[in-house]
Amino acid sequence: MKRPTTLLLIVAAVCCVLPFALGSADGSDPTPEIGRYALENGEYLAPSHAAERRVPGIFKIDTATGKVWRLAGRVAGKERIEEWVAIRN
């Protein structure tokens, strides 16, 4: 009779510890959703002194919310920095 009780306690302990070992304590999944973001290439209109011109670009689209970002590069000192810039709708 002692053996089933011990086994039951071990199973209960594993069931309580397993969620903490595999994920976060509140049960939410810390990994991003697979396929949520799409990368696309295209063109955007960039203003210039003479007139607007078409410039090639890379865009990140959040398929869940519809938000869009453009990959922009800039030089700071001696290094090139690339960052996602939000596009206003």
pLDDT (tens digit per residue) in 49-62: 888 889 899 999 99
Short-list 43, 85, 30, CA closest to 60: 85
pLDDT tens-digit readout, 26-38: 555 556 678 899 9
One-letter amino acid at 24 equals S
The answer to whether the beta carbons of residues 18 and 31 sit under 8 Å apart is: no
R_g of the chain, CA atoms, integer Å: 25
Helices and strands per DSSP (H, E), number in the chain: 1, 4
One-letter amino acid at 52 equals E
Q: What is the pTM of this model?
A: 0.56
The per-residue pLDDT for 88 is 80
